[in-house]
Amino acid sequence: MRYVKISKANTYKFLERLKAKGTLYAPTKISEKFYDFREVNDVKAVQFDYNRTIRPPRRFFYPARETMFTFDTTKVELYENVPEDETIILFGVHSCDIVGLRIVDSEFIDENPDPYYKKRRESGIIIGLSCLPDEYCFCNVRRVDFVDAGFDLFFHELPDGFLVRVGTVTGHKLIDPNMDIFGEITQEDVDYMTAFNEKRGEMFPIQGNWDDLRYFLELRRDHPMYARESEKCLGCGNCTLTCPTCRCYDVKDIPSIDGMTGERVRVWDSCQFRSHGLVAGPHNFRPTKESRFENRYMCKNAYNKDTTTAYCVGCGRCTYFCPADINFRKNLMEIGGYKEAV
Amino acid sequence: MVDTGKSVYDTHKCRLLRKYDLTDMETLFLFRFEDPVVAQDWRFKPGQFVEVSLLGLGEVPISICSSARRMGFFELCIRNAGRVTSAIHKLTPGSLVGVRGPYGNGFPMDQFHGRDLLCVAAGLGMAPLRSVFLYAIDNRWQFGNITIINTAKYGPELLFEKELEAMKDIATAENIAIVQSVTRDPDYPGLHGRATEHMEKANVDPDNCAVAMCGPPAMYRGMFDYLVEKGYDPRYIFVTLERRMKCGVGKCGHCNIGTATSWKYVCKDGPVFDYYAITSIPGLI
Amino acid sequence: MAIIEECGDICRPKIGVYALTSCYGCQLKLATVQKIMEIVQAVEIESFYMISSASRMGSDVDVAFVEGSVSTEKDLEELKEIREHSRILVALGACAVNGGVQSWAEGDKDYKKLYAEVYGEGKITMQGRQATPVSDHVKVDYFLPGCPPEEDELMYFISAFLFGTFPEPKDYPVCAECRLAGNSCILIEKGEPCLGPVTTAGCKARCLSHNVPCIGCRGPVPHGTAWFDSLAKLFKEKGFDRDYIRDRMKIFGAHDENLEPMLDKIFGGSK
């Protein structure tokens, strides 16, 4: 792997140059406590020290609402609405979110590829950024706190800039023409990275790994946690809509007024909504708030064979952005019998 | 996965040729592919389903109920139960619809070869099992004795009742037992009772029999207990499940079931599951 | 696909737009949608006082849009007449769907006293009633909530209706749309008494996008999935008292049967 170094000042220059290569999105402060990936106009507004964005990065490749087809109802013809040629550049993606995207890839590209997602994703550029955990983070026990795939470049914090790992050919192509602002790394930088990672590892609120959690979830299906916690739940779906790996969608046809044409749109759905498990009849496979609540705990802790991790990457969004203060990590620790780090 | 250059949502145009009313709620629809190339190449396995599109209204997943040996045509038995299905019921022959698929794993018919076959259906469950049954008849030499048990709550709800009755003559000569029974209809002139109550009429050998079932979860539980007790091999007991399959290709998440150790898409990992999956994965039935 | 089954492509469906006690804002919204000219070409307008002087009550229509709540005896008579003369009846807007703000104080004050206090004696001849949603009195085939309803939902309903179906109603809260809109959450961040989690989605979190907490104008999420109890508990923890929470939830939710029992669950006892 190739490693280079860039100063903080030059990083702004680099971001400026990236804007010429596509549409650049980066973490932006949107309110007192919240951040979101937003299109970068002023590179000085890019946040290098943020915990998590309110909307997950998947939305750039899998929009919350998109027209899949337009159609002609009389000829019964569907016209695929292929996404425009556009390079989406995401800067400042944490390791949890990078794995999150790979999990969406595993479902939307690796098997029965979804043409819309695939096209956007394959022309996208992902630039990672190191981070320090807060009390909501548990990517370490999900084994995704350090990534070795899924990024073109990865920026690791140094005292005066970043050590950059180059992950792909696209990454090399971003570095090579810009060697006026990148430089070679030193032994000191490597030592800093080691110390940074060590400090970071100790900061997580829980240690170890949760590989056995899915078995405990199955063995303790009747745990009182579900009734107790789902009682607090508002059923608003924020946990799923902010999740970097949730993928559920609903599809609807919208005809034109004359009924001759129309569009088939897909919109993000949530398993926390009543209609998610509803079929004609009507019969609901997840009729209660508790059954919908439990559904998410099962789904997020299932095993993804492509990333060899759980579907949950431990980013903490579902807890941080839960209006009802339901703590996913602590509830799972109760099921798994894990203890907080001292 | 072979990249065919076709989108996973590729939809084929199909023309409705005929409608046959089966019950008050269910009608059988015969469709033909418009594109001769698709008509020639399109194959499916018994137990698979298609997504039928009425542009402007939406899509519904429907099990294919015709014989897989019949090319270019296929039949769907559709219950008038929702927004899209009620509109399909209003279609007249000659109308065009969009069809995607086939989707799902289907019954592993290859594994059934060389064995006796027992099909047990309740209510609308007869639709996918008709495809299994017709497959067995069309490939008669691949199977030993065959029994089909078709049940419903009330006589007028028995799907394909007349068709099965009409087959009875030749069936006997072909070692095929056809049993039709109702559970809640005292006025029905034929047999009464659940499938388990008519198993003595089955002509199959438990030691060498494949079982395909489709019906409500309660029926599966009852049949499982019965079959295992009588010595049927659990490896050859299969059931098909119904869920809300919106995309059909393991994406939209509506049909997800199971637990964290065994998280399944009914549309992709199913809808056909074997005995061990059903009994070991909580939440499947 | 035929627009109206019985007449194939020959006839256009007849539309009536009627107002009970209301501010006329919903029909103003309907009259000013961008594609109004396309709509009037696709349908025949039997009654829509705001845009046609040829309007009249009592003619047969395929679809009747009714705005306003039933707040007088006359409203009730008119509503029953409209129902008799329409194939499909659509409750248009917050008043028709949920009773509107005029049912805010339902059950809290004696209606006769209140009426006398407001209107005094003599001058008003109209027989008043406690304001109620139209579905309390007649069968409603479709609900278009909102104060006023959203243009995209009006258009989706009209095009779907002309196509021979109804859009699937939304059964999730504004809160979800607020997240998709990329807003910060003022309930979490500032402890604002936002009703987004219990209010039917569709407005794309318009108020929240301007940092104004939701007051629930689109009414409680249907099918008993407005979790007033969970939200009240949360508000309580944030320092709001029962009266404040109840008042706020009742503005557009007074007719939700779950509201009072769910508040009782959190605060104990009946008020």
Task: Determine which of B3, B6, B8, B9 to mutate to test the interface with A (most A C-beta atoms within 10 Å).
Answer: B9
Q: Are residues A259 and A196 in the same domain?
A: no
Question: Is C187's Cβ below 8 Å from some Cβ in A?
Answer: yes
Q: Are residues B139 and B234 in the same domain?
A: yes
pLDDT bracket for residue B244 (50, 70, 90)? confident
Measured in degrees and rounded to the nearest 5, phi and psi for residue B31 equal: -115, 155
CATH topology of domain C5-162: Rossmann fold (3.40.50)
CA-based nearest distance C35→chain A, Å: 9
Q: What residues make up the domain containing B120?
A: 109-240
pLDDT bracket for residue A303 (50, 70, 90)? very high
Using CA coordinates, name the residue in chain B closest to C163: B56
Using CA coordinates, name the residue in chain A closest to B100: A78
**Spatial separation of the C-alpha atoms in residues C160 and C166, rounded to whole Å:** 5
Question: Tokens in use for A300?
Answer: 């997020």
Cβ-based neighbours of A152, under 8 Å, separated by 6 or more: A125, A126, A127, A166, A167, A168, A170, A171, A174
Residue A281 lies in a domain: yes
Using CA coordinates, name the residue in chain B closest to C162: B56
Whether residues C165 and B90 touch (CB distance < 8 A) is answered with no
**Digit-coded pLDDT (tens) for B136-189:** 999 999 999 999 999 999 999 999 999 999 998 888 888 999 999 999 999 999
Which regions in chain C score pLDDT beneath 70? Answer: 1-11, 270-271
pLDDT of residue B90: 94
pLDDT of residue C8: 54
- Rounded to two decimals, the pTM is 0.94
**Digit-coded pLDDT (tens) for B54-70:** 999 999 999 999 998 88
Q: Are residues A223 and A115 in the same domain?
A: no
Question: Is C121's Cβ below 8 Å from some Cβ in A?
Answer: no
Dihedral sign of CA atoms A69, A71, A77, A83 in order: negative
Domain ends where: A148, A179, A203?
A203
For the complex shown, is ipTM > 0.90?
yes
Domain ends where: A164, A181, A203?
A203
Task: Determine which of B15, B55, B60 to mutate to test the interface with A (most A C-beta atoms within 10 Å).
Answer: B55
Mean pLDDT of A98-124: 95
Mean pLDDT of A41-67: 97
Question: Is B70's Cβ below 8 Å from some Cβ in C?
Answer: no
Between A and C, how many CB-CB pairs are < 8 A?
A: 120
Counting the structural domains of chain A, the total is 2
Residue A47 lies in a domain: yes
Q: Are residues B89 and B61 in the same domain?
A: yes
Query: B83 to chain C: which residues are within 8 Å by CB?
Result: 165-166, 168
Nearest to B214 by CA among B146, B133, B136: B133
Residue B187 lies in a domain: yes
Of C163, C180, C187, the CB nearest to A255: C163
| Whether C148 contacts C135, CB under 8 Å | no
Residue A104 lies in a domain: yes
Question: Is B252's Cβ below 8 Å from some Cβ in A?
Answer: yes
Counting the structural domains of chain B, the total is 2
What's the half-sphere exposure (Cβ side, CA atoms, 13 Å) at B233? 13
Residue A196 lies in a domain: yes
Which ranges of B204-283 would DSSP assign to H, the alpha helix? 217-229, 266-269, 275-280
Range C243-250, long-range pairs (CB < 8 A, 24+ positions): C244/C193, C245/C193, C246/C271, C247/C104, C248/C193, C248/C195, C248/C215, C248/C216, C249/C195, C249/C198, C249/C216, C250/C104, C250/C105, C250/C106
> Which secondary structure element, helix H or strand E, spans residue C190, and what is its range?
helix C186-190
Domain limits, chain C: 5-162, 174-267
Query: C1 to chain B: which residues are within 8 Å by CB?
Result: 54, 56, 87
